[in-house]
Structure 1
């Protein structure tokens, strides 16, 4: 069961209703009752305008379908320079590894085709992101290459 409650509603700053997946809008008291009986929680932060997933609870390693689709919009192909493999055919890789504290969110995930995913983990090729999110790759010889920019 998935119950979605807007954060501003929880804070008392909005009257926007909660939503029960497969049912529709529900009042906040019902959402609280359902949440109170939940055996587990996964927090998901979404963009308030588009509804696109932005960040998941640290407890979640697997990339949910909606976030995978969003990554396919923002990065339609493998992020390795010159690779045109469609994102829908790629692995989704954590920039900072999960075991090293990396999160499953938009800022830490990239689509990489299986070849370039393995290249990244099994060789000295290393991607890095600048503070503004631009991705560059450093080759084993120390040369840097910009990832292909998104189409917009």
Structure 2
């Protein structure tokens, strides 16, 4: 009987250490502790030490009351889990008029494409089910993003259809 073939292992991806520090604490105007994800509160000196040895940073601005992520650093294309959850609250279903697919089962689409300078933040992202995501990018349907935050779909024949409002 032949011996078992030696196992090969893929190298593990680099670990990510996530430290959340309130901006007012960094500026010296508050004493709220920093948070080490998966561990809990840490003192500011420890947070500064961890941040000082970081190879890269991702800036994430959060809502001051709810803590929900609102704006991510421009270098981040992928939507983090917490921002995805927030979008599921603000837009609980696919934004195509009449579609009732839950946001948790949808693709998250950049209204202004990433390649065109679009950002990964809550006012540039919408949940679209896979079908309507493809309709938007593979046909002449488009989204008109109004300055007041409302969006409307524009059909290939020029008809305008408002997205369904959230249920609250």
Q: TM-score, normalised by structure 2?
A: 0.88
Cα displacement string for residues 25-77 of structure 1 (whole angstroms, at most 9, x for unaligned residues):
12211111110001111111111111111011111100011111111111111
State yes or no: 1:35 paired with 2:74.
no
4+ residue segments displaced more than 4 Å: none
- Write the distance in 2 (CA, Å) between the matches of 1:118 and 1:109: 15
- Write the distance in 2 (CA, Å) between the matches of 1:23 and 1:66: 17
More relative contact order, 1 or 2 (CA 8 Å, 6+ apart): 1
133-142 vs 22-31, which moves further: 22-31
Structure 1 residue 12: Cα displacement: 1.2
State yes or no: 1:95 paired with 2:117.
no
Structure 2 residues without counterparts, runs of 5 or longer: 1-16
22-31 vs 89-98, which moves further: 22-31
> What is the alpha-carbon root mean square deviation over aligned residues?
0.8
- 1:114 aligned residue (130, 151, 159): 130
- Write the distance in 2 (CA, Å) between the matches of 1:92 and 1:150: 17
Q: Any idea what SS the aligned residue of 1:80 has?
A: coil
Rg comparison, structure with higher value: 2
- Write the distance in 2 (CA, Å) between the matches of 1:69 and 1:122: 27
- Write the distance in 2 (CA, Å) between the matches of 1:136 and 1:49: 29
